[in-house]
Structure 1
Amino acid sequence: MTPWEGVAIFAAGVGAGGINAVVGSGSLITFPTLLALGYPPVLANVSNNIGLVPGAAAGTYGYRRELAGQWNRVLRLGAASLIGALVGGILLLALPEGAFKVIVPVLIVVALVLVVLQPKVGAWVQKRRKSHQADGGPALWIGVLAAGVYGGYFGAAQGILLISLLGIFLADDMQTVNGIKNALAGIVNATAAILFVLVADVDWAVVALIAAGATIGGSLGARVGRRLPPWLLRTVIVCVGLTAIAKLLFG
């Protein structure tokens, strides 16, 4: 690795950490950067996932005020994230490297539709929700499990999937939802990272550079994200999602 390559990876980590704190899809900065520098896809994906864990922790800490009183909910949904991440990580190591190129764009399109329709669909869900399903019920748990599988497999745009699901099934404001999203995405990244450390090849120099950059970016991103009004946050989500689709389809 040359010094310039190290700078590029660190800078990509800063950008990824910031975007992940606000919405998600930070991997669509770091992962293509690693591919452009010649790293094999699975090695790049694994190293990138591990490197982004400190940034996810920084983003979650940055939203600690919005997460006050939410930890029982985070633990309940976090169990789904943990199980899903293990399944997704195993799939990454077992399936062909190019499989996600077909699957991921479809998932992102679905997530973007959910984000755009979230206010109307969320109101519809609220009217029909039973009182004992204040945490979204089994449907949300299963949705978070599926998002965990996706996040453990690739990770880019898992934040969009999570925030759309949480926004539909929970009555909380968008900033609280974003804080819960950061916590759940962090659980997915950390779980997959542990699996990858145990059984996969890892480039630790790449991990260190991305981790340092993502920690800085995650702290900065949390400050920016908290100040965004709900409509602007949804706009950011849609823009990042469309960019993610373009990168995956056209390289």
Structure 2
Amino acid sequence: MSNRPITEDDLHAYVDRALEPEREAEVGAYLEKHPDVARRIEAYSGERNLLRSALLPIAEEPLPPQLNLARMIESPRRRPASWRWAIAAMLMLSIGGLGGWVIRGATLAPAGGIAALAEEASDSYKVYASDRTRPVELRDSAELVQWVSNRLRQPVKLPDLTKSGYRFMGGRVVPTAHGPAAMFMYDDDRGDRLVVLTRPMTSDKNAAMAPHSGGDVAGLSWADDGTGYSLVGSRGLDALKPLADEIRKQAQTI
């Protein structure tokens, strides 16, 4: 089993039965542990089956004569009209397919579990931790805490990692598919940077700490009482775990 987080694309591919067997097994195991997400995916599967049943009679209809490729080749004099029919048909199929994906994107709510939070934290780390000019927007801790608490509409506590060798650099509010999130950044004497991302959760409101990694980035994500946290950095999971435990301990004292 890999440590890649389960993304919304994985869930849609699971519904469409388009995953490799190993990834399909990983998504299935994830759904067993997340019944709220499993219910949503079950509803999507039901909609897929209804659509297939509704469209099956159309799919079984014979091809119109004017779209028969052999006939188009054998009748050069009628080819312009046949090609017009073919182009029109292809345009209709393209528009229909595009419309389906647009409707799908507009109607299906994005996943809100810790897998999504982990991906958001990793993306924030990749964008801001490498910025040597302006990695953070506010450096004043009191002003930042007040700002992010107002934006998230709940009290947010700034983790103190000085005993672990990390200084607070600053932070910012970052956008996600589930609303604003607070991002805090830290560094140590060697210049290694960490990112802590926190936001309210729409699902997985209480979730055990789970590791995730991808490329040069690793992290741990969890949720307590409707608030999610994700610690991300370039260090290994063994080095990040004590820091994540400390952040969780401090957050529980709010």
Q: Is TM more than 0.5 here?
A: no
TM tier relative to shorter chain: under 0.3
Larger relative contact order, structure 1 or 2 (CA cutoff 8 Å, min sep 6): 1
State the TM-score, normalizing by the size of structure 1: 0.28
State the TM-score, normalizing by the size of structure 2: 0.27
Decide which structure has greater helix share.
1
Decide which structure has greater strand share.
2
Q: Which has the larger radius of gyration?
A: 2
